[in-house]
Each structure stands twice: as structure tokens, then as C-alpha cells.
Structure 1
Amino acid sequence: DYIVTEYIRTTHSIRAREVIAKYWAGEIVYQDTDLTEDLATICFSHNESYTYLLQMETFRVCGQDEYLCIPFVATVLRLADIIDFDPKRTPSVLFSHLAVKNPVSLSEWKKHQSINAWTISPRKLLFSAQCEHPAIEATILAFCNQIDEELRNGTVILSNLSDEGMDIDVEVYKISLPPQVDRRKIQAKKDIISGKPIYRYHDTKFSLSKKQIIDLLMGTKLYGKPGVALRELLQNSIDACLLRQKLSELWGIEYTPKVKVSLYTKNNVDYLRVSDNGVGMNQHIIDNYYTNVGCSYYSSREFSELMVSFKSSFTPISRFGIGILSCFMVCDSMEVTTRRIRERFECDEALHISIEGYESLFVISDSNKKEPGTDTILTLRPVHPWDRMNEEEFMQCIKGIVPNPAVQIEIETNKGSELYSSDYFDDLDLKPLLDYSWNNIKNIRKIDIDLICEEYGFKGKGCIGILIKNGLPAEEIEILSKDVEIDGEIYTLSSNIKYKTNCITETSTSISVDEDGEIDTNTSWSERFKSKASLSIHGIEVPYNLFPDYSNRMSKAVLKIPFPFSFRLDIGVNSDLNLNSARDQIIYDEKWLTFEENLYRIICRRLKDTLSSSDWKILNEIIQKNNTDTFSRVANSFE
């Protein structure tokens, strides 16, 4: 129906001219003057630019001292049509601008008879409307903009009328038109009891920061896994809490940051809720950052100036300003309640925001939220990333996303709740990273090291595999070498282990007999003690393999270590890595090179402290012989 309506709207002026030419030719006559062509021209001009009217013949002589001013008739027709904006009309602009999918909102739109009164005079054009939904007010105001444009165009057309040398009083046609629509009476309906508007109107909806979005799209990929919606909400909440913590320290007031994650079911619908007691948001933040996709508050000049004014620094987790969009990978609507702390003991008014899709207008109204912070509730789709998880699995999912939380996190389900903090990361062991190939082997020594370094902002632990022969580090160890004589020929069976980048390989030579009785020699190799890592940045997991494999084969941001090394690491204060927008790829840049060198430096320092000076010297010689670029250079500096 919409497509047909739009087609008719955009083509009816052409069809009108064709119908007039076909069926009314010679029928539109005044006295002896045939005006059929003039009527067709006026009808056709209705959908054309106003400049078309400037090119029309101005006057037609219809009799003695009788004239037809064609542009005047066309202008009046255009104005009468667009100003006829009342409950009996449904302007197409309302259809095209409405992006609200909720059935209730749509029913309110259908009641757009909000236009309940109007005043039309030479000096004033006023519409009165009591709107029940901001989408209605937005579309009415947008339509008023079109009326304003038509009024301006009409004034231009009429002011440019000339008598064409026929001594006609053209001033009678230059009627006075209002400069624009008076919009003061277009407003939200008021609650009868409180007397307050039922919503706050702001032209608030998602918009794009063009340059930043293009940069993101050109250099990275956007979200591919729906589960990242939870990660993005947690990032936002942690950042808000850390910022408020920083401000509280500067203001000299006590503050305990808290984040709460809830997964619950109500009326057979699953909801995901993430709440925090952070800085919260006000209308300014919502308009300029929350809805301005690609424009992060933490990357803004406004935030930088705030930090400078407080003589403080703060490294946020969220940086791209597109995280909130990921929520619509798992939901179609969301509710946000927020209140922003402004000064030491002052807060902005609390707001409630209803969002019915990333193309939708935000429905903003007052909230009774007392404390600063933000609550976000997603109405999950029937199929979502957590629908088949039990309570324990959901809790482990949260802990996997934020293994080293900078603030205390409470996880709540239908069956209970659990609190966890950074102590959880301290207690994590390396067993999940050490597969069966890390089982004890006589000639391989496992060395456990800590990766804690305040200077680099590192926190974690690791395990290194070192080849040992006769109690000393070795480059290669022969486990078996035996000659076997078969039918007068000597075959060597052998097995040895040696270093390869990021692992130890075991190579074996064996013999086999084929169907024809021929003896074949076979050489096979396998990786032992393969390196594996778990990385988080500022407490948030980064699902990226730091060692080369098929998933990062095109990336230079990988570690190359001349022996096996498995570790768990969180990068916090004083260190950082740049990630793509999906946070699943590390950008190869100066930050990566600094991180890589710092990590190698800690590994070498711990090895040198653990091994005897002679053992370290032998191992370092092996490292230099198996040159792995950066690592060899760093190890050599520890001579």
C-alpha cells in the first residue's frame, strides 16, 4: 500500500496532464478562450520545483481587460494543498519519516489527528497539536519545515510577477504570505495529574559521525558475534564507574563502584539488564555522544578538557562510540534509565529513554531514579546467545568476558547471585591453557613465572618449556637412535625433540612394510608444548590468538618466541593496545611494538632470575642461534 501510495503521489501530476489532454481537450473554455492547456500546465507544475513556475507564461488574455495569471493560480494551489494539514489528511511525509516499529507507537501515529486547531491569515500560520508520541511531533515539525519552504518559494514567485508590458496591476496578485509556520502550540500532551508533558521532545535519534564511521569501516570489520552486546554494555558501565571514581577522588568523597548484570525471565520473555552507579548521562551526553554513532565521549575534546581541568588522566575501555548498536544484534527494543552526577553533591534530572530500534526516535521522559548511574534493560529476542545457558554457565560467561574486573561485579540470575572482583583473576591458573602436550616429559623443564610489572601495567602468570640435557639447557635432544638391519639393509629409527618458534617439535623416523613387501622409511613430526595465551585489556577479554595461526595469518601483531610459552595476562594502567571496533583483532602499530618488547623483557628478566648464570648464558646462546628478531635482541641485552 505504501509503495502504491508513493507511486501515485509522485506521478499524479503527469497523469493529470495526460488525462486532461486525452479527455478534456477543448472542454476548459472561458468565453472564447481555450484554457485546457493552461490547466494541464498548472496541474503538472504541482510536483515540479518552484523554479518551473518562474518560467511559465505570466498572463493569458481571456477577454477585454480580463486576464489569467497562471503562476498565481499554481502558487495558490500549491500552498492550499500543503497547508491543508489536519486530521482529514495523511501527508506522505509522516509515512516516510516514521521509523517506530512498536505497535503501540504505530497506533499513536495513526491518531495523528493531533492537529486540533489552526489559524491562517496573511500574517500568521499557526497549527496547534497535542502529541502523544515524539515521533508524531517530529513528523509534524518536519512537515512544517516543508510548509516554510513552500511559503518562501511562493513569496519569490509572486514578487517576480511582471505585467509583461500589458499595463496590468500586478500588485493585486502579490498577496502577503506568512514568513513561516508558528510552531509554539505543537507540543506534547500533558499529564492531567502532574501537569507535566508526558515526554520530553528532543530531535534525538542515532546519527553518524561520518569521518569516524568511514575510518572504522575502511580499516576494520564491525561486530560479527551477537554475544559482544553484553561485553559492550559491561565496558560502558565499567568506564562510567571508573570515571566517577576518579572524580570522587578529586572531590574528596567516598565512592564504591558497582556493576550488576542480571538475566531473568518475565512472562516468558528473557531480559538482560546491566546496571551501574557510575557518572550516568544527561540530555547533552545523549544528544552528542550516546546517539551520535562513531563519536565517543571518551575520545572527545570535552572529555580531554575535563581531565586537564582536574589535572588527571583516565584510560577508558570504550573508544569507538558504536558499542550501543551491538545491542540490537540480540534485541529489538531497550529501556535506559540514567542520571548524571554533575558536581560534588549535584546531579542532573533523571531520564528514562525508550529505544525501539537503531533507526527509531528516542522516547525520553522523566524518571524517578534517585542515585547517579545507568540501568539498561534489553528485551531479548526468543533466540539469543544466552538462552540455552544454565545459571553457572552464564556466570562463567561473564567472568570470561571480564576476567579481571576493575570494579566489583554482581551476577544475578533467577536462582541467585554472586559477587566477584579482581581477586578472581589472581586465582586463575594456567591449566586451561596447557593441553595434553604439556604433560611432564623427562627432558623438558617447565618454569612458572609471574608477569606482574607495575611499570608496564602487566598482571598475570606464565609457563615456559626449556629443553634440558644432562642438567643443562640444550638446543636439541636425541631421544632414540637405533640402527635396524632388514634383509641386509640398515635402517635408522630415531626420535628427537628441538625448539621451534613458539613450541617444541618432536620428529620421529620409522619404517613400514607395504603390500608388496617393500620397506619404506617415514618421518613424522608433531608439536609439543605449543604456546597459548589468554589476553585481557583493562580487565576485558580480547578473543585474539597472540601466536600465529589461521585466524591471524595476515596480521603482524603476533608473538614469536624461540621456545614454548603459555600465559594469562591483563594489560592495565601504563600500557595499552589498539584494537579494531569488534575488539577481536590487535592493530599492528607503535603500541603493539612497545607491548611486544616489554613482554619479552619480562620473560627474559624472569628466566635470568630463575636460572643460574651459566644456564642463562647457555640458553641465551641458543636464543641467539635461533634468531627470532625482537626476542633475540631483547635477550641479548640481558647478557
Structure 2
Amino acid sequence: MSIINKPPESYKDCLLYRVLIDREKPNHEIIEKIEYFIEYVSPLLNLVVAGPFRNYTLHNPGHSKKLVHLGGQIVSESTLSKLTDLDIMLFIYSCYFHDLGMSITTKERNSLIQSQEYSDFQNENESFKNRVDKLRHLHSKAKDEFKSSLEVTLFQLQEFALSEILRRNHAKPETYSKLINYLKTKTGRKDLFAYNGVSFEEILIQICESHNLNSIVLGELISARDPRFERKLPIGGLYLNVQFVSAMLRITDILDFDRERTPIILFESLGIEENDLPGSKISLEEWNKHLSVHSIELSQNEIIINAESKHPSIEKAINEFAQIIEDEIKDTLASINYNDQEIKEKYNFKLPTNVRTKINSIEYVYHDLKLYLNQESIMTMLMGEQLYNNPGAALRELLQNSIDACNVRKKLSKEDYIPNISVKLKVSEDESKWLIIEDNGIGMDEYVISKYLFQVGSSYYRSNEFTKIIDSKYNPISRFGIGVISVFMISDFLKITTKNNDSIRGDYKNRNITISNKGSLAFITESEKGSQGTTMELRLKEEYSNKSYLSYFENYLRSVIIRPTVPIHVSIINHFVLKKKYISFKKNAIKNAEDLGIKYVVLDLDRFSDSIEGCAILPLYIEGDMLIFTRENRRIQFNEEKSINPHDVFEEYQGNRVTVNGFKIGLRRTSKIFGKRLRFAYDINVIGDEEVRYDVARDRIIGKGVTVVKNRVREAIVKALEETGIIDSLEESTLNFLRSSKLLQDDGTVIAEKEDLKKILNLIPQETWPIGLHQSIAKELGLRPGIVRNTISYFLDNDMVFDGRRK
């Protein structure tokens, strides 16, 4: 066990710099440039301390010097001697350069406050904006003494906003590029970011940018042979390990216990946010007074952070940040260790992966009390009759995950890959019945298993890590739900076998996970052999293992999974394949209709929309060269009791269907999208992005999602009519009807005509509404009060207006 000593007075006495100086043949070009760079940049770093970050932590030359000092402490002795002069140079440069984008002059500060970016920040952060608006309102009415106190708080909020904007921008490549150009111009040294005539500007930018990115980027590949962060990059006659230098910067930066990384904790706990806990109203200036990390111990097995704290919020922040440090070290070392033997032997750290805290709580007793939920009760609520009242939903959850896994592997695969998903029944020797869901998709490594597999409401496919793996926009089939724990609706024992041969962490192990009952811990074993993909084995509860329920599961899958992007082979009682299918006409159905003077206008909507697939079929009368929907006051429609029986027209007709990402889901009154009079047949798949909102059980589209989907369908139909030229064949009254169709709510309630919508919107106040608002607006515009009331409700349901109703 050893304590990491405080850095020396000068960076020239740091171990890394001494290694550079004491070499048999010191590289004078590199040494001269390091000294010149630090001398010129240090005053600029002091502007960070003078700006919005002064209450957080030091980003001054002292912080940079400490990183240089820590760099010599965390690498192994053998690595110290093997680092090239260029490795050391770029690391020292990055220590003094990575936070320089946070520096700001008084003039720049004032300009930023007046900028659109500052305004956008306020608008994006509703709670922050509401807090500012409330304080400004109080300030306008306050007396002198209280006015001064409010001004201080407002200033702190302003500083917080500025720090967030600067933090967001400081590590962007364009910020670093501007700084480099500024430094070359001001110093007159165009060679300051070059060695032996070869520029390393882009490499320095890449290293500094990486400290603000997820650690997984260190292991990313640009192509099969080209890593994103080079391990052996030649520059001016020397090699540079860009990955290792980037890792050094990340680890030293976080080991300086960088409180910059916990602004939300400060914002919520130390008085900026409203808080009624005794002693919690502490200004940001008190942060440094109440937090004292006095030493960090280093051993072979763990890192120990020793500190004193005068407030439980501070202690909580230290504990949470210690976990962040541990995660950072583990993830970074995982990327570093995934190298060939030559690189691993030359470049390595002497760091343990466990981090713990020893905190002296001054004048309080610390208890980390949290809100805990009764797991059994919550599971019963989620998966009982209150929510997931359909036991087949468990299979839907698993199969959606399997489809996503196969789609992702297909995107990543560099060779021919045929996705395969199956659901089958197995009877064990003790006669218990097992449902087995198997896919050959991407599979899971240990990180995904621990972070996402058993997390309710978490989705790996919507995580920052996943968006870095998939370069194109990917819309997952699965959506936030109760996920894999839904299997305990129908089973009492779960086995999972999974393996990811494409793991970016190089974690290719095959894992077997078993969970007995829904409250138990997972038991995991590992092996090297296994096939890529995931297999879920569910031992069915006795009440779900009879033939009646097995048949029910089959029928549920047939009725819900209409258009899977990957075929699903099912063998429970019967054998069948679930694959993409849409409505189709029976033989001679179109000709038979034309003999009766009826034309089926078939619109392939996926040709005219990026978010709607499938078809809509409009039945219209043939009137010479024109098409009409009414003849002799008789409307034509698909209806078993009126006009056309759809069972006589379509193969295996199961009614009008809407699916989202291939899975059937409820959507009310889609056929009335053009008003009550025009009905059509449809078989539609919706590409389910974030605007398509489901109910909690994900059985139907709700709220604003209804309007979004209906508008998309309507727009696709109109566009199809126009671009296919069918609209030119429509009789004038039919055409006028389509163009003047009313906007309907989900329940079919008519709201105002389009030309009146904006007028009503402009008359709705942005503060508490007066009693009888809808009546006064109706009177002013000459509309019926009921129409205005329905319109205001529509605006409220779709988050289009401020809710000023008296609560």
C-alpha cells in the first residue's frame, strides 16, 4: 500500500518529465516545445478558474501539473522506460490542452449570455428555466435586502448554465482546432504542434476529445484492420501509441477527483435547486470547504479514497464518484488489454480495478437511505391483471429482443449472415414443459448482461454505447418495458445461454445464466465454446403448461406477430413459420368488382412514406373516366353487412390491421381518417420511432401517438393519390371531400376547421386561464362553444399549449 504523493512544485520535477530529461540522448526539440507550450498556455488556463468553473474544481495549471504527476504513478515501471519521447510529449500536451476550451474572458462571457445557445439551453431545461423565471418574478417585487440575496442566486444559476454550455462544447474537435490556430497565431510558432516537420494537430485533438467520450471508443475499429486509436503511429521518425496516451489522460483526469463530473449532484444537493432538507442550502462556494479528499492510497488490490465531509450530500457525492472512477478504470483497462501481445507487454498500467472510500463524517451520521420497492409486489402489479394481463406478452418481449439482436448482427456482419429465430417446446424427464426461444443474433457480453439485461425500463439499443457501434440510425423493435423479467409471468425458472463474438470489449465468452424464481440472484458460469446468439429457456408454471395454454401461446403469436423482419419458426403443438405478410386479393376479386362498376384503388404506402408501410384500398364507383365514392346517395365501403363483404375480396381476411415494427397494436378509428363518410380497407405497418407512443402494456397507441400515426397515414394516402395520378381521376365532389376533411380526435370528436385552429391557439393565454375561456373564445370567433372546448382539449392532449387550468 502506498499513498499517491502531492505533485511537486514544478512540472519539471514530475517523474514523466524527468524520464524525458534523463534519457541517454535527450530530444531537445521535444523538450523545448513542451516548456514553451506550458509557459504560454498556463495563463490561459487561469481564465478557467476566473470563469463559471471557479466553484467546481481547479482547471488551472495546477490541475494539469497533477495529471502529469499522476501519469508517472499509474504506468508500470517497465512501461515508463519504453514510452517514446513522442508518447510523453503528447500526454503532457494533452494535460495542459484538454480543458483549455473552458477558458473564457469577461467579453466572451457576456457574449455567450446574449447568444442563441444560452437561450436554447434555458429552453431545453424546463426546471432550470422555471427556477430562473420564479426568481426573477420574486426579484421584481422584493425589497433591497432580499433583492441582493436573489441576485446572488440568479448569478449562481447563470454561472451553472455557462459552465454546462462550456462543458458541452470544450471537448469538441472544432473547439480544439480553433484553439490550435489561435495559439499558432499568437505565438508565431507554426511548428508548435509538429515534430520533425510532421504535424500532430489532429492526433492531439483526437486524444483530448476522447477524455469526454465513452471509454469504449478506445477499442473501436474504423475497419477490420484500422483501429480508431492507433497503437503504433509513425510521426517524424518516432512511434506514438495514441490509444495508450488517451487512456493515460482519461485515468489521470478522473483520479484527480474531478468534481466537474458531478455538476448535477451539486445542482440538486447544494442549494441551487429548491431543497427543504436541514442544512442543504449550501452555496456553491461552500463546496470546496466541505469536501476534502486528503489522500489516495494505491495497492495491488484496490484504490482507497480518504476524505473528510461535513455534509451527507458531499459524502454521497464522494461515494458515487468513487464508483464512476472504478467503472472508468475497468472499462479503459478492458480496451487496453484487448491488444496483441507485443503492445500489451510494452504498454500497461499498474492499477487495481476496485475503488472504495474511507470517509470521516464530521458532526453527522451517514446513512444512505433510498426508496426501495417491494420486488414481489411490484412484479405482481406489473405482470398481474393490472398491466400485462396477457401472458403471451412475455413471448412478445423476448421475440422483439431476438429480432433486434438479429437485425444488429446483420448490420455489423462482414460476411453472409442468415438470421434465425425459433420458438419450440421441450418436455424434460420430470415432465416439466419448457418454452425455448433461440436466436443467432448479436448475443451479449458481460457488460450488456450486467447493465441492461435485468434492468426494467432500460434498453441497450437506446444507450450511448450502442449508438457508437451502429453508425447508421437504428430503430429498435423493442421499446422500454419490463423486459426479460416478463418471463416470470408464465415461468418459474429461467436459463439463458448467450455469446457475442462481435463484442467491442473482446469479451467472447459463452455464458450460462440461471435464475430460480423471480426474486433470486442470477447464477452465471462461463466457458470459451459456444455459438453466437442467445437462447432463453423458460420452465412453464404448472397452470401454463397444459395443452389449452400451449395452444393459446401459438394463437397469440399468430395474431400479434404479423410482419417480423426475421422469420420465426414455431414448434409448440403445431409447426409453422411467422413471416412478413400483407393483405392480398382473392382470385378474380378485382375483375368481379369492375363488372359491378367498382374499382379498388390500391395504394402502396411504403412508396410514399418513410414511416408507413403496407397498403390502403379505397373502393370507388366507376363513372365513365372518373371515380366517385357516392352514387345516388349510396356510399360504398368494405363492411360485412353493407356494400362489400371483405371476406369475399381478401385472402384470409382478419380485419383492418395496424402493426408497429411488425407487431399488432391497437389504434382506434383509423378508417375514419378522412371523416365518417369515407371508409377503406388497410393493412399498415408503422415504423415505431419515439413519437409513436404506446400504453404501458404496449397493446395500443395512445395520446399524441394516435394523432402522429393518423397524420402520417393520411399524408401517405394523399401523396400516393397525387403521385400516381389517381387524384386526377377523382370526380370533383370526391376530390373536394378529401381536401376538406376534418381533423378528428382519437374519439372521433370534431374540433375546429384548420383555418380556425391558429386563431384559437393565439387566444389561449400563457398564464392561469379565466373561467369560461372556451366560451369567450367561441363568442369572439363566432364558433360553437363545444367546438372550441374540444379544440382546447386537443391542444392540451398534444402538448401544444400552456396548461393554465385552475388546479
- Higher-RCO chain (CA-CA 8 Å, sequence separation at least 6): 1
Quickly name the TM-score band, shorter chain normalised: 0.3 to 0.5
Kindly indicate which of the two structures has a greater share of residues assigned to strand.
Answer: 1
